[in-house]
Amino acid sequence: MTTTSTGNNARRDFYERIGALSMAPLWESMHQLVPPAPMPGYVAAHWSYEAVRPFLMESGGLITAKEAIRRVLILENPSLRGTACATPTLYAGLQLILPGEVAPSHRHTQSALRFIVEGEGAYTAVAGERTIMREGDFVITPSWTWHDHGNESSQPMVWLDGLDIPIVRMFNAGFAENGAEDEQEVTRPEGDSDARYASGLLPVDHKPGRAASPIFNYPYARTREALARMAKAGAPDPCHGHKLRYVNPANGGAPIPTMGTFMQLLPAGFASAPYRSTDGQVFSVVEGSGETRIGGDAAGKGGTVVQWRKRDHFVVPSWARVEHRVEGEAVLFSFSDRPIQERLDLWREDRGGK
């Protein structure tokens, strides 16, 4: 027996003996626990709305919004099957509410965002105030706030649900409670939060409270106008085009403390420079069509090319190179776990994809 094989046998014997004490040698897993670069462990994914929508509508005939509590089809990353995750830290799903339906009131410690994909005229009620939702609107439901949804329009409404479920699950801090009634009592007039917080002003006696934004509907019309003005004012960023982040007007941070949300305008003919960052991202296509190369090398070879169009959704994994290319003008909404990474000094970016 060689010295090497004798050494290996001694190590295996040692590992078995310390394993009986629920211990393990760090040197056998050091390269995985502290890698030289992020190792996402999940893949790029794409959901064509043309393919998904018929199943959403079919679900409307199988179960009511009240029976389901929330009638949602989960956008589950193909490499994370069985986890209900789009990325290891983010949940995403498409919710359907039909005319005349109410999704009953409840609250939970998980924070949620709604990005309206199709339809106009349904409402969401948050903490006693209703707001009418329109395509492209970004709506938040802060942690542990009562919320219900209703559709008083004549058309189906579909929106993207984004939640921090995996993050809350990691901390084992998930709680939920159902409301006594399907619809919570409306205690504030529609537009009240907008009047108080959405005009570059704050009530004179406002004191910082919860971390979430006091505004819960960021209308697309206002966001789109800001992007258009930004585009007229200067050249696009080489990596992002014209990109804005949604903010909490009370503190300048993210509207939801665990999830950052963004809207970007890609000008006609734009081809972005390679870019990557440590936050995994979920995208929703608001306007236009194009393609995104996800992953691959610095020379633009390899990876996954996603051909997307309006209302499609796709995932860009952490530290994967991303390059967008469009012929006509396009607008993308996205959300990620960037705020948490930034607060923990973990977030990194690479402008150039080296």
Q: How many CA atoms lie within 13 A of 258 on its CB side?
A: 20
CA 180 distance to own-chain centroid: 30
- The correct answer on CATH 3.50.50.60 for the domain covering 45-351 is no
Q: What is the pLDDT at residue 299?
A: 73
Q: What confidence tens digit (pLDDT) does each residue in 266-293 have?
A: 999 999 999 999 999 999 999 999 999 9
Instruction: Please name which of 39, 38, 45, 79 lies closest in space to residue 294, comparing C-alpha atoms.
Output: 45
Q: Where are the domains of the chain?
A: 3-33, 45-351
C-alpha distances in Å from residue 294, one per residue of 46, 81, 297, 298: 11, 20, 10, 11
Q: What confidence tens digit (pLDDT) does each residue in 251-264 have?
A: 999 999 999 999 99
Least confident of 95-99, 140-144, 184-188, 340-344: 184-188
Q: What is the pLDDT at residue 283?
A: 98
